[in-house]
Chain A
Amino acid sequence: MTIRLMLAAGLVLGALASPGQVTAAPFTPLTVEALSPLEDPDQRARYERLIREIRCLVCQNEPIADSNAPLARDLRREIRQQIESGASDREIIEFLTARYGDFVLYRPPFTPRTWLLWLAPGLLLLGGGWIFWRILRARADKPIDDEEWGEDPEPAEDTPR
Chain B
Amino acid sequence: MWRYLSVPALFLVLLGFFLVGLFRDPTMVPSPLINQPAPQFELPQLLHPERTLGLRDLATGEPVLLNVWATWCVGCRQEHGMLVEIARSGEIPIFGLNWKDDRAAATRWLERLGDPYVAVAVDDDGRVAIDWGVYGSPETFLLDGEGIIRFKHIGPIDATVWEREFRPRIAQLRQGQS
CA distance A99 to B39 in the complex (A): 10
| Shortest distance between the CB of B23 and any CB in chain A (Å) | 17
Chain B residues closer than 8 Å to A98, beta-carbon distance = 32
Q: Given that A60-B26, A78-B130, A127-B10 are contacting pairs, would A100 and B135 also be in contact in the complex, using a CB cutoff of 8 Å?
A: yes
CA distance A97 to B130 in the complex (A): 11
Encoded as 1 (CB less than 8 Å from any A CB) or 0, chain B from 115 to 158 comes to 00000000001110111111110000000000000000000000
CA distance A97 to B29 in the complex (A): 12
CA distance A57 to B26 in the complex (A): 10
Chain A residues closer than 8 Å to B100, beta-carbon distance = 70, 74
Selected from A58, A75, A97, the residue in CB contact (under 8 A) with B32 is: A97
Chain A residues closer than 8 Å to B135, beta-carbon distance = 57-58, 71, 100
| Shortest distance between the CB of A142 and any CB in chain B (Å) | 15
The answer to whether the Cβ of B20 comes within 8 Å of any Cβ in the partner chain is: no
Once the chains bind, are A131 and B26 in contact (CB under 8 Å)?
Answer: no
The answer to whether the Cβ of A119 comes within 8 Å of any Cβ in the partner chain is: no
Selected from B6, B30, B130, the residue in CB contact (under 8 A) with A74 is: B130
CA distance A99 to B27 in the complex (A): 16
Once the chains bind, are A99 and B26 in contact (CB under 8 Å)?
Answer: no
Once the chains bind, are A100 and B32 in contact (CB under 8 Å)?
Answer: yes
Q: Which residue of A lies closest to B7 (CB)?
A: A7
Chain A residues closer than 8 Å to B29, beta-carbon distance = 57, 100-101, 103
Q: Given that A7-B7, A60-B26, A70-B126 are contacting pairs, would A101 and B31 also be in contact in the complex, using a CB cutoff of 8 Å?
A: yes
Q: Which residue of B lies closest to A95 (CB)?
A: B130
The answer to whether the Cβ of B33 comes within 8 Å of any Cβ in the partner chain is: yes
CA distance A74 to B131 in the complex (A): 12
| Shortest distance between the CB of B78 and any CB in chain A (Å) | 18
Once the chains bind, are A74 and B125 in contact (CB under 8 Å)?
Answer: yes
Once the chains bind, are A74 and B126 in contact (CB under 8 Å)?
Answer: yes
The answer to whether the Cβ of A49 comes within 8 Å of any Cβ in the partner chain is: no
Once the chains bind, are A75 and B31 in contact (CB under 8 Å)?
Answer: no
Chain A residues closer than 8 Å to B33, beta-carbon distance = 99
Chain A residues closer than 8 Å to B125, beta-carbon distance = 74
CA distance A99 to B141 in the complex (A): 14
Encoded as 1 (CB less than 8 Å from any B CB) or 0, chain A from 26 to 60 comes to 00000000000000000000000000000001101
Chain A residues closer than 8 Å to B26, beta-carbon distance = 60
Q: Given that A60-B26, A70-B126, A74-B125 are contacting pairs, would A100 and B133 also be in contact in the complex, using a CB cutoff of 8 Å?
A: yes
Chain B residues closer than 8 Å to A139, beta-carbon distance = none
- Ranked nearest first, the 5 interchain pairs of A and B with the lowest CB-CB distance are A57-B135, A99-B133, A74-B126, A101-B32, A103-B29
13 A-B pairs (CB sep. < 8 Å) = A4-B7, A58-B136, A60-B26, A71-B134, A74-B130, A78-B127, A100-B29, A100-B135, A101-B29, A101-B31, A101-B32, A103-B29, A131-B7
List 8 additional contacts besides A58-B136, A101-B32, A101-B133; criterion CB under 8 Å: A7-B7, A57-B136, A58-B135, A71-B135, A97-B32, A99-B33, A101-B29, A127-B10
B residues apposed to A, CB below 8 Å? 6-7, 10-11, 26-27, 29-33, 100, 125-127, 129-136
